[in-house]
A and B are shown apart, each in its own frame.
Chain A
Amino acid sequence: MIREFGPADIVYLLAAARWTVALALTAMVGGGLIGLLLAVMRVVSFPPANWLAIGYINVIQGTPLLGQLFIFFFGLPLFGIQVDAWIAAALALSIYASAFFAEIWRGSLQSVSPRQWEAGASLGLGYWHRLFYVVLPQAVRISIAPTVGFLVQLVKDTSLTALIGFIELTRASQILSAATFKPLPVYGAAAVLYFIICYSLSRLSQRLEGRVHVAR
């Protein structure tokens, strides 16, 4: 039965967009925590930690996200671990994001002037104090723009989870489009919702950047 694209469908899309946001937030937090650990493993002077982090980052960055989604969704059950689409999507996106966060943050850490490390050292601050109180706060400021840039990417990448049947904004649009045969208005509305989410993120980034002091 073919029906019209009406207000109820907009509500349906909005409800699905909540899952897009939830997935992006989960990947942001999960990927952020793993990414932070990886970034630290990348900069400490302990070669095995460096190699492990570099290997992980290269594998994740060098393979497609869709492949990673399939591995978690179809691969884990082969080992007897049952996962639903949400768990597989959240896991895959977190791991995917962690590799990119790690590299963004490593770059930010290393772009803080070595003189700041020296200044901390010359006051008798130990390595971890220098890292956490002197260098990290400045690295955070430097990393805001690229981090949010990647988050915007991540929001859009959540649409790939439609292919393992997770009902977020894109999957919901496919369902509506099939029911109404009005692909243009349906996908148009979905695009507007994606834009609202991503644009809000960019604005947030600009406001954050204006608030922090850093060496220029």
Chain B
Amino acid sequence: MSLVELAGVHKRFGLVEVLKGISLSIEKGEIVAIIGRSGSGKSTMLRCINGLEKVEEGRIVVADIDVTAPRADLNLLRQRAGMVFQSYNLFPHLTVERNIMLALRLVKKLPVAAARELARTMVEKVGLGDKLKAFPDELSGGQQQRVAIARSLAMQPTLMLFDEITSALDPELVGEVLRVLEGVAGEGMTMILVTHEMNFAKNVADRVIFMHQGRIHEDGPARETLLEPRTAELRSFLSAVLH
């Protein structure tokens, strides 16, 4: 069984059908970039995968947990599938160190010393070892996003979801976040990224999924799909984002 399985997934917000029958499987170790216009359903699909949105129809199984089951253990699911958001969402009342320690203590039940040690290791990994005692509002957007990545990775998930994590950043800060992502990719983590960074998708991802009007319109190896799109829709999307 694949790590992530979606079968016939439909999602409506009121009268608007955002996902119109999505079927998809993602294997362990794959790095998948999801691209598409805004409103194509790509972020919604990501949020459905870790249970932040409920689906009306279809089945989603992630890391052996049936997300669509009525009494799904969503907290366990989210320990296996970490998520990083566009707006960082660090806890503003806690220092960098405590942001990372919180779930390690409460969810993983690590002793304080072990949690603190792991927090330091993770923060050093994203190159912010000197910011352990800083509060989020004392960091730049890029630094906050790197801490958010470290916070998710510290939980040692099987799978990471990234929801347009560079979209809110000033252009000069995008690079530092993408470099951290490349590092994570290099360690063999399974990653699903909703992104507008086509170069990153081409160079780092194994596979690209192009979503269009709530459906998967193209799905294939990253380089090939982006360099030689098969459909007119992907061709016109790529020419719009690349120029």
Contact = CB atoms under 8 A, between A and B. Distances in A.
Given A213-B135, A214-B92, A215-B92, A123 B78 contact: yes
A209 interface: no
- Chain A interface extent, by class: 20 to 34
A137 B99 CA distance: 13
Interface in B105-150: 106-107, 135-137
A160 interface: no
B82 A213 contact: no
A36 B92 CA distance: 23
Interface in A87-144: 115-116, 118-126, 129, 133-134, 137-138, 141
Contact of B75 (A115, A126, A216): A126
B89 interface: yes
A119 B79 CA distance: 12
A122 B83 contact: yes
- Chain B interface extent, by class: 20 to 34
Contacts of A138: 91-93
Contact of A118 (B82, B85, B92, B137): B85
Given A116-B91, A138-B93, A213-B137, A133 B106 contact: yes
A125 B103 contact: yes
Contact of A123 (B92, B93, B107): B107
Given A133-B106, A138-B92, A123 B151 contact: yes
Interface string B66-105: 0000000011101100110101011111100000001100
A123 B103 contact: yes
B50 interface: yes
B75 A124 contact: yes
B31 interface: no
Given A122-B152, A138-B92, 16 more contacts: A119-B85, A119-B91, A120-B91, A121-B75, A121-B78, A122-B50, A122-B85, A123-B103, A123-B151, A123-B152, A124-B75, A124-B76, A124-B107, A125-B107, A138-B93, A213-B135
27 contacts: A116-B89, A118-B85, A118-B89, A119-B85, A119-B89, A119-B90, A121-B52, A121-B74, A121-B78, A122-B52, A122-B83, A122-B152, A123-B79, A123-B102, A123-B103, A123-B155, A124-B75, A124-B76, A124-B103, A125-B107, A129-B106, A134-B91, A137-B93, A212-B93, A213-B136, A213-B137, A215-B92
